Structure 1
Amino acid sequence: MALPPGSFGLPLIGDSINFLQDSQFAKKRHQQYGPIFKTSIFGQPTVFMCGPEANLFVLSNENQYFVVDFPPSAKALLGPLSLALQTGANHQNRRKLLYQAFQPRALAGYIDAMEEITQRYLQRWAKMETLTWYPELRNYTFDVAGKLLVGIDNGSETALGNYFENWSKGLFSIPLDLPWSQFGKSKKSRNLLLPELENIIRDRQQGAPSGNDALSLLISARDDEGKGLSLEELKDQVLLLLFAGHETLTSAIASFCLVLAQHPDVMAKVRAEQQQFPATEPLTLEQLKQMTYLEQVLREVLRLVPPVGGVFRTVINACEFGGYEIPKGWSVLSEINQTHEDSEVYPEPDRFDPDRFNSERSAKPFSYVPFGGGLRECLGKEFARLEMKLFAAKIVREYEWDLLPDQDLNLITVPIPHPRDGLRVKFRRNYF
Structure 2
Amino acid sequence: MSNTKSGCPFEHSTLPPGTDGVPDLDETIEFMMKPDTFLRDRQAQFGNTILSRVFGVPTVYMLGADGNEWVYRGENKYVASQWPIAFRRLLGENSIPMLTGAVHRERRRIVEPHFRFDHMAQFVPTIEASAHKHLARWAEPDQVAIVDKMREFAFEVINVFLFSDDLAKIDLAYMSQEFVLWTRGLFAVDMDESPDAPFGRALRAKEILQDQIGTLVAERRASGEQKEDILGTYLTTQDSDGNLLTDAIIVDELQNLLFAGHDTTVTAMSNLMLHLSQNPAVLAKARAEQQAFDAKAPIRFDDLKAMPYLDAVIHESLRMVAPVRAMTRRVLENTQYQEYCIPKDYAVTVNCPVTHYDSEVWTEPEKFDPERWFDPRNEQKRKPFGFIAFGGGPRLCLGKNFALVEMRLMMALILRGYTWEVLPDQDLTYNAFPLPTIKSGLLANVSRI
* TM-score by shorter chain over 0.5: yes
In 1, distance between residues paired with 2:443 and 2:301? 32
Matches within 5 A, 1:140-179: 140-151=153-164, 152-153=167-168, 157-179=172-194
| Compared CA separation, residues 306 and 298, structure 1 to 2 (3 A) | same
Q: Following TM superposition, by how much is the alpha carbon of 1:175 offset from its aligned partner in structure 2, in angstroms?
A: 4.1
| Structure 2 partner of 1:194 | 210
Aligned equivalent of 1:352: 368
What is the SS of the residue equivalent to 1:418?
Answer: coil
User: What is aligned with 2:402?
Assistant: 383
Q: Could you say if the C-alpha distance between residues 9 and 192 of structure 1 is closer, same or farther in structure 2, counting changes exceeding 3 Å?
A: farther
Q: Give the structure 2 partner of residue 94 of structure 1.
A: 107
In the alignment, residue 361 of structure 2 is paired with which amino acid? Answer: V
Equivalences for residues 104-143 of structure 1 within 5 A: 104-143=117-156
Q: Does 1:340 align with 2:359?
A: no
CA distance in 2, matches of 1:252, 1:419: 10
Query: Given the alignment, which residue of 194, 214, 238 partners 2:230?
Result: 214
Kindly indicate whether the alpha-carbon contact (under 8 Å) linking 2:183 and 2:434 is maintained by their aligned counterparts in 1: no
**Take 1:227 and 1:128, find their aligned partners in 2: how far apart are those partners?**
54
> Where do residues 74-85 of structure 1 align in structure 2 (5 Å cutoff)?
74-85=87-98
C-alpha contact (below 8 Å) 2:14/2:340 kept by paired residues: yes
| 1:400 has 2:419 as partner | yes
CA contact (8 A) 1:401 1:425 kept: yes
SS of residue paired to 2:58: strand
Q: Does 1:428 align with 2:447?
A: yes
Which residue of structure 2 aligns with residue 280 of structure 1? 296
Fraction of identical pairs, as percent: 35
Contact 1:147 1:153 in 2 (8 A): no
In structure 2, the partner of 1:65 is 78
| TM-score normalised to structure 1 length | 0.95
Q: 1:167 to 1:203 in 2, by over 3 A?
A: same
Q: Which secondary structure state, in structure 2, belongs to the residue aligned with residue 427 of structure 1?
A: strand
What residue is the counterpart of 1:307 in the other structure? 323
Q: After the TM superposition, which of the residue ranges 235-244 and 324-333 deviates more from structure 2?
A: 324-333
Post-superposition offset of 1:156: 6.7
Cα drift, residue 212 of structure 1: 5.0
Distance of 2:173 and 2:441 partners within structure 1: 22
Distance 1:217 1:269 in 2: 41
Structure-2 change in CA distance of 1:43 and 1:138 (3 Å): same
Output the CA distance in 1 between the equivalents of 2:237 and 2:299.
29
Aligned residue for 1:15, secondary structure, equals helix
Aligned-partner Cα distance in 2 for 1:221–1:237: 13
**Which AA in structure 1 matches 2:207?**
N
Q: Is the alpha carbon distance of 1:203 and 1:167 closer, same or farther for their aligned partners in structure 2, counting shifts above 3 Å?
A: same
> Structure 2 vs 1, CA of residues 256 and 291 (structure 1 numbering), >3 Å: closer, same or farther?
same
| TM-score normalised over the length of structure 2 | 0.91
Match of 1:295 among 300, 308, 311: 311
Distance in 2, Cα, partners of 1:393 & 1:9: 52
| Contact 2:155 2:172 (8 Å CA) reproduced | no
Q: Which runs of 5+ in 2 are unaligned?
A: 1-12
Structure 1 stretch 227-236 or stretch 299-308: which is displaced more?
227-236
1:100–1:217 CA contact under 8 A, matched in 2 = no
The reply on whether 1:25 has 2:38 as its aligned counterpart is yes
Question: 1:36-82, CA deviations, whole angstroms, 9 ceiling, x for partnerless residues?
Answer: 11111233111111111111100001111100111111111111101
> Alignment partner of 1:232: what SS?
helix
Structure 1 stretches lacking a partner, 5+ long: none
For 1:241, which of 257, 273, 279 is the aligned residue?
257
